[in-house]
Homo-oligomer: A and B are copies of this chain.
Amino acid sequence: MDRNERLQQLIRSNRLRELKADLSSWNPADVASFLEQLDGERRLLVFRVLPKDLAAAAFAYLPPEMEEQIVSAISDAEVGQVMDRLFTDDAVNFLEEVPANVVLRALRSVDKDTRERITRFLNYPKNSAGSLMTAEFIELHDRLTAREALDVVRREGSRMETVDVVYTIDDTRRLTGALRLFDLIRAREGLALRDIKRDQPVAAKTLEDQEDVARAFRRYDLTQMPVVDGEGRLVGIITADDVMDVIQQENTEDMERMAAMAPSEKPYLKTSPFALAKKRIVWLLVLMISATFTGGIINGFQEVLSSVVVLAAFIPMLMDTGGNCGSQSSTLVIRGLALGEIRPRDALRVLNKELAVSLLCGAALAAVNFGRILLFEPQTGAAVALAVSLSLLVTVMVSKCLGGLLPIAAKAVHLDPAVMASPLITTVVDAVSLLVYFGFARAILGI
């Protein structure tokens, strides 16, 4: 990048004032990207040159290891300056990822109120609404007038994460409504907030799961959402940008589970081989051991295999097709469950659909397979072709129905449906398809 090149030059020639002037107009996310590319010493140099607000904003975009490195290298006073400027949600994200000594140092650097607030937020369980929310929003007593409210917004707004919507509370700090800033500027100045028509906002509870929060954002097309505690008191807000991250993170986790891995929070390239291996090995071992049962089935039918040796050649095709069919169905159902489009009570509808689909797919595959064997491998013979094709049809039907139902069953007993994906279903379907196959072979070939 041209812009980066120029800045690198400024750093090399130590023209820090120009560097500062240039960076000051940048978006904090871009500043963070630039900092990421530098080595540790230069990163620190540039970080210290930045205007304080921009430094804190860019800090929040850095990966945890660089945040930690910076905090370890700067003075207590500087740590305090960063911490004071961070939104609570960014401070919490940072503190959740760094070692205890860094947490203690960071908390020591802020005033008592901030420390108490951050500590309270840190205590909400991971993946709860409470852990997503931030404390920088405007709450107004609903006795205030529109003019008083606007004065508060003007005075305090720049310290807030957003003032697009402000919230009204009553004497007991209970959430009573939401007002867009637009509603405020349109209202008659002397009117009390409680007399302005407010929205009854969709609110989250602090302990609500972040997936449910994300679903509510999508259902109601929200850009922000208030969070209330058990008594209905307003304690924070969640903004759309954090919800987008939640959506991506939940999707990544689902995909990882569907590929038989323990979910990971760090980006792939930043995870060590040892950590990656640890996430993968458990399921690989479980599935490997399970697959030996499939081997046991082959062992049990040795006499069938040795009397018609060509039968073995169709095993990979049967197993793979069964696995693929099961994986298609389970993927659609897992996804439908995650998006709330399929519920456990739809099990029968899913079964009916998969029966119909698998009959269509199975018949087509079986017909093509039968024709292919007769045309291109005539030495195999029609009897074997028939046994293989019938097994294929049954395998497709069983695997699609299992693929459709197992994720729903998992959901019904409060397991993660994503676990019932391709790898596990493949292992089950392998055994089924071999039993069916040897059954048909025996019956049709009279072995």
Contacts and interface: CB of A to CB of B under 8 A. Distances in A.
Nearest to A295: B313
A110 B191 CA distance: 38
Given A269-B341, A316-B298, A218 B243 contact: no
Given A223-B223, A331-B261, A346-B269, A360 B274 contact: yes
A23 interface: no
Contact of A29 (B150, B219, B302): B219
Interface of A: 25, 27, 29, 150, 153-154, 157-158, 162-164, 180-182, 185-186, 200, 202, 214, 217-223, 239-241, 243-245, 247-248, 251-252, 254-256, 258-261, 267-269, 273-274, 276-277, 280-281, 283-285, 287-289, 291-292, 294-296, 298-299, 302, 305-306, 309-310, 312-317, 319-321, 323-325, 327-328, 330-333, 335-336, 339, 341-342, 346, 349-350, 353, 356-357, 360-361, 364-365, 368-369, 372, 422-423, 426-427, 430, 434
| Copies of this chain in its oligomeric complex | 2
Given A256-B331, A292-B317, 12 more contacts: A164-B164, A222-B241, A240-B244, A243-B244, A247-B247, A261-B331, A287-B324, A288-B369, A289-B372, A296-B313, A306-B309, A422-B422
Contacts of A25: 200
B241 A223 contact: yes
A317 B342 contact: no
A221 B243 contact: no
Contacts of A182: 153, 157-158, 163-164, 181
Instruction: Identify whether the interface residues of A are mostly helix, strand, loop, or mixed.
Output: helix
A222 B434 CA distance: 53
B314 A269 contact: no
A173 to B, nearest CB: 24
A248 B339 contact: yes
A287 B321 contact: yes
A180 B256 CA distance: 39
Contacts of A223: 162, 164, 223, 239-241
A313 B299 contact: yes
14 contacts: A29-B220, A29-B221, A158-B186, A164-B180, A252-B339, A255-B335, A260-B327, A269-B341, A277-B361, A284-B324, A287-B321, A305-B312, A320-B423, A323-B423
Contact of A268 (B200, B296, B321, B333): B333
